[in-house]
Structure 1
């Protein structure tokens, strides 16, 4: 996870919410497409939780505060996130992110500035995500399953590319070089996409500054 800066909601969503009968489930197709496009753009096309690459035709819209328990927030744009499909269709124990979370409560949201998500999580070179907060640490594993085997393996593979860059030159890299690498990791490509597992890679480099 990495902080997400929420932007303005799509105009079509704002207009739809003015309808007395507006519900998330009854959202018109065009409004849904606008919503998905907006969420993808502000998140750089990576999952809000695991930071895997996501596409408009292969993703889920997550309600951080669940619709079941917070019906008044079902169309609140600040409550909505774009997530991966979470291994949908595979063994239930491998589910991750929104698919795993369902209606469960999650203490902190990556899009709520006051939660300061960067201070709540820590990544380890072995590819695992943890938290110093015992309850949230349990949620990372049990509610989101963010240390699922393939996610850990994929993070390690992404990190090996960064480590390869660091090792291209003998000796210790100075802070300016590391900062340039960090800026590159945090940047978006021409399609507005962040690098997969950007939060993990950024954390690794930030610790070297």
Structure 2
């Protein structure tokens, strides 16, 4: 299910989300000696990233990864790896580890197998997941238009990471599956603006997850999705 946390402005949201995530990462480190977090890209999380990067966390025990990534050059503005390095893996967070989703030139079965093995051994279950949401209701790279959406939303999917080729957006993608993301006890949906609030309202009005994949997180009784929204 979900809880809506709304804020008067983006600055207050970023501060609150950064503090909450800080506490969760510190708790994971205290409990098991390490922590992992998957974040999303785009312009929305930049302020949150910068605040979180200054938090006094034992960052060398934290592994950061992306919920999904476009299969483009790591230096490309089209991907999110550069965004995370320039905005999150700075200041105190510069000592964190980063788990690259884009490794190698070709997203083939062998590459996916290696990445899945590494993710299962070092990351999962993720301690914290920060999701975004597209205008079509996609989250991570779980696109309703893709031929891979049934596999992506299958709760019995054994693959933590999978290839997705959206039909309404550019670039081949690598994404964590819903089955992998839902393992996290702390799932957040970070959105801003009236248009995203309208998409959220539509997502809450029905339970058809194949029409809007974000519904898989909002309506699942096993997932406590914390929605953080500001105008």
TM bin (shorter chain): under 0.3
TM-score by length of 2: 0.25
The structure whose residues are more often helix, as a share, is 1
The structure whose residues are more often strand, as a share, is 2
